Structure 1
Amino acid sequence: MFFPRKLVVTLLGTCPWHRCHRRHAAEIARLSVREALASLEESRKDIKIQGWVRSVRSQKDVLFLHVNDGSSLESLQIVSEPNLKGSALSFGSSVEVVGTLVKSPHKKQSVELKASDIRVLGACDSYEFPFKLKERHPPDYARQYPHLRCRTNTFSSLLRVRSEATAAIHRFFQSNGYVHIHTPIITSNDCEGAGELFQVEATNWDSAAGDKSGFFDVPAYLTVSGQLHLEVMSGGFTRVFTFGPTFRAENSQSRRHLAEFYMVEAEVSFTESLEDIMQVMEDLFKSTTTALLSRCPEEMDFFNRYVSPGQKDRLEQLLKQRFMIMSYTEAIDVLQNSRDAFRYKPQWGCDLQTEHEKYLVKHCGNIPLFVTNYPYDLKPFYTRDNEDGPQHTVAAVDLLVPGIGELFGGSLREERLDILQSRLDGLGLNETYQWYLEIRKFGSVPHGGFGMGFERYLQCILGIDNIKDVIPFPRFPHSCLL
């Protein structure tokens, strides 16, 4: 007999068996591993845990499993009778376990789950699985398996820290009155002016539409920075920020560079002080790091123990210090007076290299260092001219941190229309940035901002050597797995 769909739903909803089944299902509380481990009750019946098997140990009268669902560094121990063991139950299998949460007699865990039912949801061939039980796999090995490395303790810990750092950054800005702006990923502007761009083209657009001008009618690129779009918004809001992917077509295989990475960027209106921008940088760094030490203690301890010994103590000491400040000119003097043999000779007017940046931070006692007032010709057109005579500098700042070098870059923006127009004329960019001149023309205010490389920040606080190991799916020259 044919029943209209609405009638079928009504019949199911009134069926006594269906109501009973729903009531029974509702009585089984599904907990994450983290929630189960944090449970303070002596005993909880009908608990459901879903996750992946980290170890299997079968004895004559008892079966021990350790299951993790990615919510915690620690796994939950499952205790059951051997007859519950399925033939597909092995290291790496996904399972659903129902049972009673009880106090554990062992010192290594506070609770364990006494299983009444174990269901294998997805079998795993543990012999072919690339990550082996109780083995510590080096980062370059794990990097070959971006689709599986989230199962390892190191990378799952990293992803939890990354998630919490993202939330902490948003909390910092929102609690300080910033408006979150979604800046575009596809843009017609080259913010940095370095030409290291990925051009965007529509597949078969010409042949399909017969239009030779391209999809957007103008050249379009993947963004290298959201700064210029934030500057537009700073014409209507006093504080704005963005946090999203950015792209650089740099042919680099270094441990600090990626083709796709995440940037935290902010813009502050009504400020004529570079120190104001530096203070926001320092506060953001310290606030986020303090949040991670507080909210991710197990993960931070894990990296402190196995990845970068002593890192936690270094971070705690760093948070107690005021960041140092040094002008670019002073930095060059320090480098030129150094006894170290640099690969690149430090000279006034030349950009600081990574080796220079690391030396300067070490020279300051491994305390983060603001380097200010760079030469005019080193920084992009939007940086405010200091108009300071023969050396001619701009109000730009980089924050250098231990082990990494440059982490933040910022500046006051040139809000004076005549000076900005003159500089764009000299670069032949007046027509391209006519819109940028207009936002100075119609009610501009003194303002400034900065950008922070999110992956470099994670490298810095966790002591991770290679930037490819702090992002889920690294993109770099000759590599785009998945």
Structure 2
Amino acid sequence: MPSSKVKVPEENFFNVPAFLTVSGQLHLEVMSGAFTQVFTFGPTFRAENSQSRRHLAEFYMVEAEISFVESLQDLMQVMERLFKTATMLVLSNCPEDVELCHRFIAPGQKDRLEHMLKNNFLIISYTEAVEILKQASQNFTFTPEWGVDLHTEHEKFLVKHCGNIPVFVVNYPLALKPFYMRDNEDGPQHTVAAVDLLVPGVGELFGGSLREERYHFLEQRLARSGLTEAYQWYLDLRRFGSVPHGGFGMGFERYLQCILGIDNIKDVIPFPRFTHSCLL
């Protein structure tokens, strides 16, 4: 009988450690230098030990990268237009499917969705968000503090506080965000030009930022993180000059949750894979 054991190759396939990726962003930045506006849509992977209603180990994400974007305002405009345009297309092309969910799974979701579509999305800073949370009468499981990441309970509260209108939270502390986000050079607070879009029922739907296009800023950030060797190719994109650019990612399953009113992310994907569960 042949052995059922999987044979492990004597050498690594790529000769270097390789991992499934949570994002195609860095490679999109390469392409945006030639084609200005680029996007990708495909599976992404995250080894997060979470059994929550909004996390999967394998999910789909729409990512976009845009050259010559110089402000978060410009980036947020694209994000808001994407959400509203895609949603209106879904409503016009698949009315029966959407109505089925709204009638039997999420009563009232139709009105909430129309409310989101007809109002301009709001904008608050991370600092303002923390102050709102601190002044809330609600008791949170995680105490809101400046310099600490926002949790799902915080995100959902902020959306309700803003009248169930999607809200952009901008300018997060540098220490909370990855090396590639643009330094705001704003003194003691030291924030980066990052933005998350929070939506009713889900919390964070989009995440994005302006990218650090300045060579020496990026070089210093990589050196402090001990990542210079691994990301030398990324740093080289700026070596002979770059352009201001930015981008974002939107989780597709979370988007479906938002527009259909589905409470659990595992119910909007045919074969949900998460911690301790992998249906092959």
Give the TM bin, normalised by the shorter chain. over 0.9
The Cα shift of 1:205 comes to: 4.9
1:231 to 8, 29, 34: 29
The Cα shift of 1:204 comes to: 2.9
SS of 2:33's partner is: coil
1:421 to 195, 198, 219: 219
Question: Counterpart of 1:300 in structure 2: which amino acid?
Answer: V
Show the counterpart of 1:330: 128
The Cα shift of 1:463 comes to: 0.5
SS of 1:426's partner is: helix
Residue 204 (str. 1) matches residue 7 (str. 2): yes
Retained in 2: the 8 A contact 1:244–1:262?
A: yes
Kindly provide the CA deviation profile for residues 319-365 of structure 1, in whole angstroms up to 9, marking residues without a partner as x.
01000000000001100111110111100000000000000000000
Question: Counterpart of 1:224 in structure 2: which amino acid?
Answer: V
**Whose strand fraction is larger, Structure 1's or Structure 2's?**
1
The Cα shift of 1:406 comes to: 0.3
Retained in 1: the 8 A contact 2:115–2:165?
A: no
**1:80-229 alignment to 2 at 5 Å?**
204-206=7-9, 211-212=10-11, 214-229=12-27
Show the counterpart of 1:260: 58
Retained in 1: the 8 A contact 2:25–2:63?
A: yes
**1:346-357 alignment to 2 at 5 Å?**
346-357=144-155
SS of 2:189's partner is: coil
1:366 to 164, 177, 200: 164
Mapped partners of 2:192, 2:115: distance in 1: 32
Mapped partners of 2:55, 2:254: distance in 1: 9
Question: Counterpart of 1:452 in structure 2: which amino acid?
Answer: M
Kindly provide the CA deviation profile for residues 173-216 of structure 1, in whole angstroms up to 9, marking residues without a partner as x.
xxxxxxxxxxxxxxxxxxxxxxxxxxxxxx6353xxxx43x100
Q: Identify which of structures 1 and 2 has the higher relative contact order when contacts are C-alpha pairs closer than 8 Å and 6+ apart.
A: 2
SS of 1:236's partner is: helix
Residue 408 (str. 1) matches residue 202 (str. 2): no
Which structure: larger Rg? 1
Q: How many residues align?
A: 275
Mapped partners of 1:226, 1:246: distance in 2: 8
TM-score, normalised relative to structure 1:
0.56
Mapped partners of 2:135, 2:195: distance in 1: 22
TM-score, normalised relative to structure 2:
0.96
Question: Counterpart of 1:347 in structure 2: which amino acid?
Answer: E
RMSD: 0.9
Mapped partners of 1:438, 1:269: distance in 2: 17
Retained in 2: the 8 A contact 1:370–1:399?
A: yes
Question: Counterpart of 1:328 in structure 2: which amino acid?
Answer: Y
Mapped partners of 2:107, 2:80: distance in 1: 24
Show the counterpart of 1:279: 77
Show the counterpart of 1:52: none
Mapped partners of 2:151, 2:134: distance in 1: 13
Mapped partners of 1:344, 1:466: distance in 2: 22
**1:30-49 alignment to 2 at 5 Å?**
none
Aligned-residue identity in percent: 73
Question: Counterpart of 1:441 in structure 2: which amino acid?
Answer: R
Residue 387 (str. 1) matches residue 185 (str. 2): yes
**Whose helix fraction is larger, Structure 1's or Structure 2's?**
2
Mapped partners of 1:261, 1:297: distance in 2: 25
Mapped partners of 2:77, 2:50: distance in 1: 32
Show the counterpart of 1:291: 89
1:446 to 244, 261, 278: 244
Question: Counterpart of 1:408 in structure 2: which amino acid?
Answer: F
Mapped partners of 1:230, 1:376: distance in 2: 22
Question: Counterpart of 2:169 in structure 1: which amino acid?
Answer: V
The Cα shift of 1:284 comes to: 0.5
Q: Which runs of 5+ in 1 are unaligned?
A: 1-202
Residue 463 (str. 1) matches residue 266 (str. 2): no
Mapped partners of 2:112, 2:143: distance in 1: 30
Question: Counterpart of 2:159 in structure 1: which amino acid?
Answer: V
Residue 245 (str. 1) matches residue 48 (str. 2): no
Mapped partners of 1:436, 1:217: distance in 2: 20
Mapped partners of 1:475, 1:437: distance in 2: 34
Residue 481 (str. 1) matches residue 245 (str. 2): no
Kindly provide the CA deviation profile for residues 222-255 of structure 1, in whole angstroms up to 9, marking residues without a partner as x.
1110101101111211100000000001111100
Kindly provide the CA deviation profile for residues 247-280 of structure 1, in whole angstroms up to 9, marking residues without a partner as x.
0011111000000000100000011111111111
Retained in 2: the 8 A contact 1:324–1:367?
A: yes
Retained in 2: the 8 A contact 1:235–1:443?
A: no
Mapped partners of 1:443, 1:429: distance in 2: 21
Mapped partners of 1:337, 1:317: distance in 2: 26
Kindly provide the CA deviation profile for residues 369-423 of structure 1, in whole angstroms up to 9, marking residues without a partner as x.
0000000100000000000001110000000000000000000000000010011
The Cα shift of 1:443 comes to: 3.6
Mapped partners of 1:204, 1:266: distance in 2: 39
Question: Counterpart of 1:309 in structure 2: which amino acid?
Answer: P
SS of 1:414's partner is: coil
SS of 1:370's partner is: strand
Question: Counterpart of 1:204 in structure 2: which amino acid?
Answer: K
The Cα shift of 1:461 comes to: 0.5
Retained in 2: the 8 A contact 1:205–1:215?
A: no
SS of 1:244's partner is: strand
